Amino acid sequence: MKDKVDMLINNALVVTMNKNRDVIPRGFVAVRDGKIVDVGVGDGTSKYEAEEVIEGRRTIVTPGFVCAHTHFYGVLLAASTWFGLIEPPTDFQQNLQRIWWALDENITHDDIYAASLMGSIMFARTGTTFFKDMNSSPNSVTNGLDYIRKGAEEVGLRGYAGFCATQRRSLEEGFKIIAENERFVRETHADPKAKVKGFFAVHASFTVTDDVLIKTKELADKYGTIYAMHVEEGLIDVYHNIERYGKRPVERLRDIGFLSDRFVAVHVVQAIDEELKIIKEYGVHVAHNAMSNMINGVGVPRIQRMLELGINVAIGNDGYVFDVFDNMRSTYLVHKVVNKDPRILAPLDVIEMATINAAKALHVDDRIGSIEPGKDADIVIIRPEFVPTPLNEKTVYGHMVNTFTGQDVWGVLVEGRWVTKERKVVTVDVEDAMERAHKTIARLWDRMASMEEKYKIEYLRT
């Protein structure tokens, strides 16, 4: 008698990302009660009776992709030429002051929700099922994270949300933000229905005192959560720490007891070899954001050296481009050109960064990041309409990095439930969501237009 399951994805090319990195050229994935119960070779209908069978001819099945670092609020300035600036910023610090800090001071709860909703839809359409979001809206701190949760959960995604603790406006504000992070951590980790849970986030070491860093680590230890911070994205971080503390950023973090294997260091562009060795020593994870580093002109981190040292590197988007295939391809290419060496990074290296490595960085690799029995059924079904060369177990990694795009994603499952199917989001009315979000964002742009003199930002009317 056949075993009954909820869903059977059958006769597909299965990219497992398991410990052995097995690729099954013609196999099946059986799902029941939101879990993967079996992964096998051949026709699964001989073994299982399923309520729903997805036949996998010319179909690739992968784990749900994991974004190790994003800012949903980056959506709020998407598609604007230089984000609406009268003239481009000359460096990273101007970028923060003229664009992002001007933006985040104008963000309301409605804006947070609109950004989360739009960002989650873009993730869902292109295969990302789990994320780590770091919010910044200092005039909408209280309950702001609930609006991130609301948008993402409506779409059906899971992830972590935290507020970037910063003291750039006042010393007290950093601790107010930490308290809000603790409130959200406490409530969401106690709620089994919460798909988006809290964690502790800090903006950067050049915008906080040691007290904020120490308190953040203390609470992350207390609740057993991950914690994250931008580290050496630009040279200002390095110069600030050397001038004020006589140490480079990673040395300072080590010396105050901030580092651990639950810490996700975002960017790490400017780190020197001694700092990378410290990162390795403490088991710190790195979230690499290639496309964001490009548009901000901050440089390219030493990813190849990190991999040589055995540092776990994951891929994020930093709130810039929400298609994981674009981010994988950019990661794959930029390190070759900057090192003038085409051998650097194989396609598999990059796919690991967007799946199992990212899951490890967020400490959820026991549940997601690979297709294995017992794991949550976070699954992406890729069905490209056109493949220029043969697709098989030997070429699939290359196709995933060099050929496929987010438009090739046919369906996405989160805990065994459809989020997208037949290339359409099925959990929300996308047209209605866009209409509501666009009205909210237009009001935000109007508010920013009123600050043109202070921040040299003009409202880009289209």
Domain ranges of the chain: 3-64+369-423, 65-361
**Domain 3-64+369-423 is classified in which CATH homologous superfamily?**
Urease, subunit C, domain 1 (2.30.40.10)
* Mean pLDDT in residue range 17-24: 98
Write down the pLDDT at residue 451. Answer: 66
The confidence band for 94, taking pLDDT boundaries of 50, 70 and 90, is confident
Residue 262 pLDDT greater than 90, yes or no: yes
**What letter represents residue 114's amino acid?**
A
Rounded Cα–Cα distance for residues 25 and 277 (Å): 39
Residue 446 pLDDT greater than 90, yes or no: no
The confidence band for 87, taking pLDDT boundaries of 50, 70 and 90, is low
Task: Name residue, tokens 């990219």.
Answer: 15
Contact 222, 81 (CB under 8 A): no
Task: Name residue, tokens 């580290």.
Answer: 231
* Mean pLDDT in residue range 339-368: 98
Reduced to 3 states (helix: H, G, I; strand: E, B; else coil), residue 392 is: coil
Residue 83 pLDDT greater than 60, yes or no: no
Reduced to 3 states (helix: H, G, I; strand: E, B; else coil), residue 132 is: strand
427-445 as b/e: b if 16+ CB within 10 A: bbebeebeebbeebbeebb
Q: Are 3-64+369-423 and 65-361 the same fold in CATH? A: no
Residue 11 pLDDT greater than 50, yes or no: yes
Q: What is the pLDDT of residues 123-182, one digit of tens each?
A: 999 999 999 999 998 889 999 999 999 999 999 999 999 999 999 899 999 999 999 999
Q: What is the pLDDT of residues 379-397, one digit of tens each?
A: 999 999 999 999 999 999 9
* Mean pLDDT in residue range 39-63: 96
Lowest-pLDDT range of 45-59, 99-113, 215-229: 99-113
Contact 229, 205 (CB under 8 A): yes
Residue 268 pLDDT greater than 60, yes or no: yes
Enter the tokens of residue 386.
């056109």
Q: Does domain 65-361 have CATH number 3.40.50.300?
A: no
Q: Which residues contact 176 (CB under 8 A, 6 or more apart)?
A: 141
Rounded Cα–Cα distance for residues 73 and 114 (Å): 9
Lowest-pLDDT range of 74-78, 268-272, 447-451: 447-451
Residue 454 pLDDT greater than 80, yes or no: no
Q: What is the pLDDT of residues 174-223, one digit of tens each?
A: 999 999 999 999 999 999 999 999 999 999 999 999 999 999 999 999 99
Write down the pLDDT at residue 77. Answer: 83
Residue 447 pLDDT greater than 90, yes or no: no
Contact 128, 155 (CB under 8 A): no
Q: Indicate the average pLDDT of the chain.
A: 93
Residue 39 pLDDT greater than 50, yes or no: yes
The confidence band for 371, taking pLDDT boundaries of 50, 70 and 90, is very high
Task: Name residue, tokens 């110069």.
Answer: 239
Residue 299 pLDDT greater than 60, yes or no: yes
Write down the pLDDT at residue 85. Answer: 43
